[in-house]
Amino acid sequence: MLSTPHRGTEEFDREKPSAPGELGPTGRELRPVPEPLPLDRHGPATVVAVCNQKGGVGKTTSTINLGAALAECGRRVLLVDLDPQGALSAGLGVPHHELDLTVHNMLVPPQVSADDVLMRTRVDGMDLLPSNIDLSAAEIQLVNEVGREHTLGRALHPLLDRYDYVLIDCQPSLGLLTVNALACADTVVIPMECEYFSLRGLALLNDTIDKVRDRLNPRLTLGGILVTMFDARTLHSREVMQRVVEVFGDKVYDTVISRTVRFPETSVAGEPITSWAPKSGGARAYRALAREVIYRTR
């Protein structure tokens, strides 16, 4: 059992808030993003697939913390755990191995409704559809279904009017579950570890997004590339960043997530960084990302 880290020590927070006109970590001038307006009604949701077939790049961390930051902006958020590892559920303190009903039951017969699986989280305004290892059977169970790529979309449909954002945490593969996420998403956010070899997989992912758009979901857009685990002190990080901006241009979010031990700490604590270490650079970064996401999906 890991010992719970101490809350509130801020010794790793090196990031300063940015001033207008200042060059951001991407090497570009920061584009101004207005404060999000409060909403007087909610829905229909923008569905965001958080996707990269590489593991350990920050998909789950970004889903939890972007979700919590959107909720802080008064948006109603639903997180969908679409990875049989259940890291999203665990990262929110849910004992997912003990659950009887999970996303798996929404997808395969005898299907239950999403409302039967839905859970509240400790974050106000943010709910969860949890998963556990049961979901690993779904890809095989769905193979012979008619319209198998739209199974998740059908299951989520009744909930969409209640939320402003649905964030789907995809598993590290481009298999049928991920295709289901892309087939019901409006937009894809791709977290990318700031590492040379990370660039290679992005061509294949882009290809998959194009195919899904052509064949299954014409409204699918590439929302943005989120660079994670950035370390401004290393030349390697800065060079990879430059290359990412060359390839993806405006699609790269100005917000960049630095490498900090606070994120692994939050997984142990089972809560988002916005409540675990609210003043940390990591919390500020995900709040800035939330503003960019709201601005770009308005």
Ligand X SMILES: Nc1ncnc2c1ncn2[C@@H]1O[C@H](COP(=O)(O)OP(=O)(O)O)[C@@H](O)[C@H]1O
Among 45, 46, 48, 58, binds ligand X (CB under 6 A): 58
Q: Quick one: CA torsion of 117, 122, 125, 126, rounded to 10 degrees?
A: -50
Is 281 near ligand X (CB under 6 A)? Answer: no
From 46, 52, 60, 65, residue interacting with Mg ion (rule: CB under 5 A): 60
Tokens of residue 155, six digits: 């299951």
Q: Of these, 47, 49, 77, 87, which contacts Mg ion (CB under 5 A)? A: 87
- The tokens for 194 are 């700031």
Cβ 89 to Mg ion shortest distance, Å: 11
Binding of residue 284 to ligand X (CB under 6 A): no
Candidates 27, 44, 56, 158; binder of ligand X (CB under 6 A) is 56
Which residues in 150-189 are b (16+ Cβ under 10 Å) and which e? bbbbebbeebbebbbbbbbbbbbebebbbbbbbbbbbbbb
Q: Among the candidate windows 74-82, 140-148, 209-217, 252-260, which touches ligand X by CB under 6 A?
A: 252-260
Listing from the earlier edge strand, what are the strands of the sheet with 119-120?
119-120, 126-129, 77-82, 165-170, 46-50, 187-193, 221-228
Q: Is 167 in the site for ligand X (CB under 6 A)?
A: no
Lookup: tokens for 255: 């917000």
Residue 260 interface partner, choices Mg ion, ligand X, none, CB cut-off 5-8 Å depending on type: ligand X
Distance CA 209, CA 8 (A): 40
- CA 21, distance to chain mean position in Å, is 28
Q: Find which of ligand X, Mg ion, none residue 171 binds, CB within 5 to 8 Å per kind.
A: none
Q: Which residues contact 121 (CB under 8 A, 6 or more apart)?
A: 79, 92, 94, 127, 128
Choice from 5, 36, 43, 55 touching ligand X (CB under 6 A):
55
Phi, psi of 230 (to 5 degrees): -80, 140
Nearest distance from residue 42's CB to ligand X, in Å?
27
Residue 124 C-beta: closest distance to ligand X, Å: 23
Q: 62 vs 160, which CB is nearer to ligand X? A: 62
Q: Is 57 in the site for ligand X (CB under 6 A)?
A: yes
Q: Is 87 in the site for ligand X (CB under 6 A)?
A: yes
Cα 18 from Cα 67, distance rounded (Å):
22
59 binds Mg ion (CB under 5 A): yes
User: Does 53 sit near ligand X (CB under 6 A)?
Assistant: no
Residues that bind ligand X (CB under 6 A): 55-61, 87, 172, 228-229, 257, 259-260, 263-264, 267
